[in-house]
Amino acid sequence: MDISIIIVNYNTPKLTVEAIESILKSKTKYSYEIIVVDNHSSDDSVRILKGKFPNIVVIENKQNVGFSKANNQAIKLSKGRYILLLNSDTIVREDTIEKMIEFMDKNKKVGASGCKVILPNGELDWACHRGFPTPEASFYYLVGLARLFPRSRRFNQYHLGYMNLNEPHPIDCLVGAFMMVRREVIEQVGLLDEEFFMYGEDIDWCYRIKQAGWEIYYCPFTSIIHYKGASSKKKPFKIVYEFHRAMFLFHKKHYARKYPFIVNYFVYMGITAKFMLSAIINTFRKIGG
């Protein structure tokens, strides 16, 4: 088996069906399997997926175990030389699987790679092209300096806007919406960290992959569509909470020991303040809706 494509579904049967159909339309000489993990959807997701795609593997969870653990369940069952994490709200091109495997086969030092991820409005999903969120990079991003100086190597350390987005090149971090990883890499660095419930697991995995000496590449010669921006801006409190908890976990795990107390203090205070502001804004959106 060349590649195992893993999709986590949670109450998104229509999107998941469209994602799978885009895979099945792929023109590729490589063998693949599709594994869907349903995180205890409250709708008819499992029935729909099993009925429409009898040849794929569907894992039915009895509770929502989170994105990391659900992917790990599938990775343990997978058989591919490569593992592809693919969001349920994505559409792959006909050549995406073919070109990405060809790239990985030719570049043995690359441990993980991702293609260009495009939003429905045609803009780049910058999450597919990132540096690590160091305290400095995060500060420049949060205060808006990265946006004011998108071509600055210093101020845009997070989204790396100074790089050529139309040429393949190494970066720090991919996005879990599309992330292809070698089997050998997973055997070396381990599975996704299940402490991250639904955010931050991709950054953490990329950090560990690079620490182990592997390269991570952004490959814009093919792309996918990510319907990330199509969902409502009204988010459940748990989504807002987990997003900010992931920031805290990542810093504590990888950076806290490298920085003095005062830096860590301001990082944690910044995360807390951002979380409170986001929660307040989200509450008013719900009231306004």
The confidence score (pLDDT) of residue 232 equals: 39
The confidence score (pLDDT) of residue 173 equals: 97
Contact between 84 and 174 under an 8 Å Cβ cutoff? The reply is no
The confidence score (pLDDT) of residue 130 equals: 97
Exposed / middle / buried, residue 2 (Cβ in 10 Å: 0-12, 13-18, 19+)? middle
- CA-to-CA distance for 143 and 92, rounded, in angstroms? 34
Secondary structure of the chain as H, E, C letters: CCEEEEEEECCCHHHHHHHHHHHHCCCCCCCEEEEEEECCCCCCHHHHHHHHCCCCEEEECCCCCCHHHHHHHHHHHCCCCEEEEECCCEEECCCHHHHHHHHHHHCCCEEEEEEEEECCCCCECHHHCECCCCHHHHHHHHCCHHHHCCCCCCCCCCCCCCCCCCCCEECCECECCEEEEEHHHHHHHCCCCCCCCCCCHHHHHHHHHHHCCCEEEEEEEEEEEEHHHHCCCCCCHHHHHHHHHHHHHHHHHHCHHHCCHHHHHHHHHHHHHHHHHHHHHHHHHHHHC
The confidence score (pLDDT) of residue 289 equals: 56
Below-70 pLDDT ranges, the chain: 229-235, 286-289
The confidence score (pLDDT) of residue 238 equals: 87
What's CA 36's distance to the chain center, in Å?
Answer: 16
Contact between 132 and 174 under an 8 Å Cβ cutoff? The reply is no
- CA-to-CA distance for 26 and 24, rounded, in angstroms? 5
Tokens of 57: 């593997």
Contact between 172 and 114 under an 8 Å Cβ cutoff? The reply is no
The confidence score (pLDDT) of residue 235 equals: 64
The confidence score (pLDDT) of residue 233 equals: 45
104-109: which pairs have CB atoms within 8 A and are 24 or more residues apart?
Answer: 104/180, 104/182, 107/215, 107/217, 109/214, 109/215
pTM for this structure? 0.94
